[in-house]
Amino acid sequence: MTVTNETLKIIKQRRSIRSFKDEQIREEELQAVLEAGLYAPNAGDQAWHFTVVQNKELLDRLNLAAKEAATQLDIEHLKQMGNNEGFNCLYGAPTLIIVSGDERSPVPLDADCAAATQNLLLAAESIGLGSCWIFFVLLAFYSQQGSELRKELKIPEGYRPYSSAVLGYKKAAVVNVQERKPNLITYIR
C-alpha cells in the first residue's frame, strides 16, 4: 500500500508559481511561513537572517537592479533576461523573503539557507500560497546600487544573501507538471 499523508501531498503538490495577484498576503500567513523557515535544519546554529520585503517601490528597484546586473554577465540567458523589458524577476509577487547567512560562520551557510528556503516554500504551499525560489534577484546586490540596497534592506553586517523566495496568492493554477525522471535512485541492499 502506498504511504501518504498531508506532508507528502504538499511536497508533491508544490510547484514554482510565477504569476501572482496584487493583494498582499495576510500577516498570520507570513508569520506561519517565516516560522517554518526558522525551524529548518541548520549546521551554523541559526546563523541566518530573514529579510521580508513588502514595499512595492523597493521590490521594483530590486528587480531593476538585478536585471541591470544580469546584462553585465557573460551568461547569455541571464543577459537576455536582463534585457527583456517585460521580465520581472519577482513575477509581481507582493512579498519577497531574502535568506542571508553569516559569512563569519565556520561552516558554509549556503546549505542552511537552502534548507530554510525549502521550508518557506513548503509552508507556503501548505496554507494555499504560491511561491517561487528566486536566485535572480540576488544579482541586485552585485549591481551598482548593491551596497545601498543592502543598507536599505538592513541586511546585517557580515551576512551574505544566499537565497530568496517570493510569496503571494496564486493567479493561476499550475499546469504541465514535469514528469519525474526515471533511474535517479540506486538501492544497495
Contact residues toward ligand FMN (CB under 6 A) are 15-16, 18, 132-136
CB of 15 to ligand FMN, least distance (A): 4
DSSP class per residue in the chain: -----HHHHHHHH--B---B-SSPPPHHHHHHHHHHHHTS--SSSS-EEEEEE--HHHHHHHHHHHHHHHHTSS-HHHHHHHH-TT--TTTT-SEEEEEEEETTSSS-SHHHHHHHHHHHHHHHHHTT-EEEE-SGGGGGGGSTTHHHHHHHTTPPTTEEEEEEEEEE-BSS----PPPPPSS------
The residue (of 26 and 41) whose beta carbon lies closer to ligand FMN is 41
The residue (of 30 and 140) whose beta carbon lies closer to ligand FMN is 140
CB of 12 to ligand FMN, least distance (A): 10
CB of 163 to ligand FMN, least distance (A): 6
The residue (of 136 and 159) whose beta carbon lies closer to ligand FMN is 136
